[in-house]
């Protein structure tokens, strides 16, 4: 599918979501956070496991993991490794072992993997925070404009958001 068509498809899917703006934004933040961390084979599994536990939108979380793609993967992983290396491997830098035995290769992979994961966690925080606020802004603005266009709410009020919370005592529906 061409990139423009894919973007339009996900935009239409995003517009039709009915959860609260906060739930959608937290789902996007979770997806972006997991998408930026260096856990490629487990992105979808992690999102499908964590979204219900954290009570966030699994659809926006799945959309958020698509920030990691073949174009962004190499620079993000390189930056993640460099940050992890700076934080963890200052005293003993990571070098390729002279003897290629099982334990030296395992040690190399373990130390390099830990540096990559630590750097990935640090790099993932800023995009996740930005994704939360950007998604919250987009959803709120879209619903407000839609509300005004279709006259479904009062001109100066916030759009009605469906919620699963019961009405406060004393209020009548």
* pLDDT at residue 164, as a whole number: 55
Contact 79, 126 (CB under 8 A): no
* pLDDT at residue 56, as a whole number: 94
Q: Which two tokens stand for residue 42?
A: 């487990």
Q: What residues does each domain of the chain span? A: 3-81+125-149
Per-residue pLDDT of the chain (173 residues; tens, 9 = 90+): 777 787 788 778 777 788 899 999 999 999 999 998 888 888 899 999 999 999 999 989 988 888 777 778 888 888 998 898 888 877 766 677 777 788 877 877 788 888 889 999 999 999 999 999 999 999 999 888 888 888 766 545 555 555 555 555 555 54
Q: Which two tokens stand for residue 62?
A: 């799945």
Entry pTM: 0.74
Q: Which of 48, 50, 46 is CA-nearest to residue 37?
A: 46
| CA–CA gap between residue 82 and residue 119 (Å, rounded) | 7
Strands (E), 15-108: none
* pLDDT at residue 135, as a whole number: 92
46 C-beta neighbours (distance < 10 Å), count: 19
């Amino acid at each position: 599918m061409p990139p423009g068509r894919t973007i339009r498809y996900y935009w239409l899917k995003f517009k039709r979501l009915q959860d609260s703006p906060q739930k959608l934004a937290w789902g996007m933040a979770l997806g972006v956070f997991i998408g930026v961390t260096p856990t490629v084979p487990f992105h979808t599994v992690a999102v499908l496991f964590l979204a219900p536990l954290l009570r966030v939108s699994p659809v926006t979380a799945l959309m958020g993991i698509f920030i990691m793609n073949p174009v962004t993967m190499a620079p993000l992983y390189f930056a993640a490794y460099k940050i992890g290396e700076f934080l963890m491997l200052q005293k003993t830098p990571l070098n390729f072992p002279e003897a290629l035995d099982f334990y030296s290769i395992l040690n190399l992979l373990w130390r390099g993997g830990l540096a990559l994961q630590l750097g990935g966690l640090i790099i993932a925080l800023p995009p996740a925070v930005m994704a939360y606020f950007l998604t919250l802004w987009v959803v709120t603005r879209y619903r407000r404009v839609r509300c005004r266009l279709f006259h479904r709410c009062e001109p100066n009020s916030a759009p009605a958001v469906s919620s699963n919370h019961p009405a406060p005592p004393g209020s009548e529906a």
